A and B are shown apart, each in its own frame.
Chain A
Amino acid sequence: MEWEFKSGAPIYQQIVLAVKFRIANGTYPPGSKFPAVRELALEAGVNPNTMQRALAELEREGLLMTVRTSGRLVTGNEERLRMLRMELGNSFIGDMFVNLRRLGLSDEEIVEAVRSWRQEAADRGKSLPDEIDGQAGTPASVKEGQNI
């Protein structure tokens, strides 16, 4: 998976978010060994200090943990992972509301539209795409760094 950084938002925050998505979608599986700082810095093409800062933040948030003998591990706490998915999901929902309000829809209409869209999709037996585009589905608001 490629690392891409946008202008504006601090790089360490963008790394935090990218790693959260990777933990949520299982690229870094629960309980697995997390790559070393320098290795990951090299992969992302960033300063090791920046990577260190991002990983420290992820530790503070309980998504990574340092174990004395085996380095850094991804959390295996299912409840924490569920919260993470909700947190990331909420940012997509926030974006959807922002965009649809811009189109002039009321919140009630948006909720109704979501319900009927889901129903129609189910009726046609369509499966949902796994990924919308190559971006691992980062919502626009987080990309621009407003919602972090």
Chain B
Amino acid sequence: MSIFACQNLTKRYGKLTALDNIDLELESGRIVGLLGPNGSGKTTLIKLANRLLQPTSGSILIDGKAPGVESKKNIAYLPDKEYLPDWMNTRQLMHFYGDFYEDFDPQRATVMLASLDIPSDMVLKKMSKGTKEKVQLILTMSRRAKVYLLDEPIAGVDPAARDYILRTIIQNYEENSLVLISTHLIADVESVLDEAVFLKQGHIVLHKPADEIRTETGKSVDEYFREVFRC
């Protein structure tokens, strides 16, 4: 059974259909790119997987379970917005995370946070955008989860921070877990992807191994994406 499985999954907001009857199966041990322009349904799908939204119809199962308290024990989620209490410093954030998640590995987080050279009394609010993103990602990747759902982990940070973030993902994900990265910045993530899922106006228009796309089209995933989504 796939670790991440959607069947006939539909989500409507009033008259707007954000996800239209999608089927998607993702396996453990892969890094998958959830790729689509703004408004294609990426965040909706990730929120459904975290039970921050309820499906209009159809089902979504993570490791065989419907999203809820149990499934969240296995899912490390990085939201696309700042979500942590911004008055905390990194030490307090680590306690906070450790209280919430049994699979949080404080040693791993300590080593990575130390490499950022953040003053120990600096609170999240005072950090630069790039540093905030790094701290949030470090906390997420310090969990030994079965599924990592990363919603726009590299949006709005400089290229050096982007490299840092991608390397942190490669270095820390559990080998038998699934990593789902949503982004519209394809060129930056394509070398780390096993598979690409193209989402267009609530439909999955492509789901393939990244190297297969490159072989079949003679293009990079980024170039092919631009072709599929040309306005």
A45 and B220 contacting across the interface, CB-CB below 8 Å: no
For A12, give the chain B residue with the smallest CB separation.
B211
Among B100-108, B149-157, B186-194, the stretch in contact with A: B186-194
Judged by a CB distance under 8 angstroms, whether B126 is at the interface is no
Nearest-Cβ distance from residue A11 to partner chain B, whole angstroms: 6
Query: With a CB–CB cut-off of 8 A, which chain B residues contact A45?
Result: 163, 166-167, 170, 191-192
- Contact pick for A42, options B167, B193, B210, B220, CB 8 Å: B167
> Quick one: CB contact mask for A3-44 with B, threshold 8 Å, 1 for yes?
001011111100000000000000000000000001001101
> Quick one: CB contact mask for B174-215 with A, threshold 8 Å, 1 for yes?
010000000000000001111000000000000000111011
Interface residues on B, range: 20 to 34
**Size of the chain A interface, CB-CB below 8 angstroms:** 17
For A9, give the chain B residue with the smallest CB separation.
B214
Interface of B is mostly: helix
Judged by a CB distance under 8 angstroms, whether B30 is at the interface is yes
B31 and A47 contacting across the interface, CB-CB below 8 Å: yes
A7 and B214 contacting across the interface, CB-CB below 8 Å: yes
Query: With a CB–CB cut-off of 8 A, which chain B residues contact A7?
Result: 214, 219-220, 222-223
A49 and B194 contacting across the interface, CB-CB below 8 Å: yes
For B218, give the chain A residue with the smallest CB separation.
A8
Query: With a CB–CB cut-off of 8 A, which chain B residues contact A49?
Result: 29-31, 194
B219 and A38 contacting across the interface, CB-CB below 8 Å: no
Nearest-Cβ distance from residue B7 to partner chain A, whole angstroms: 26
A46 and B191 contacting across the interface, CB-CB below 8 Å: yes
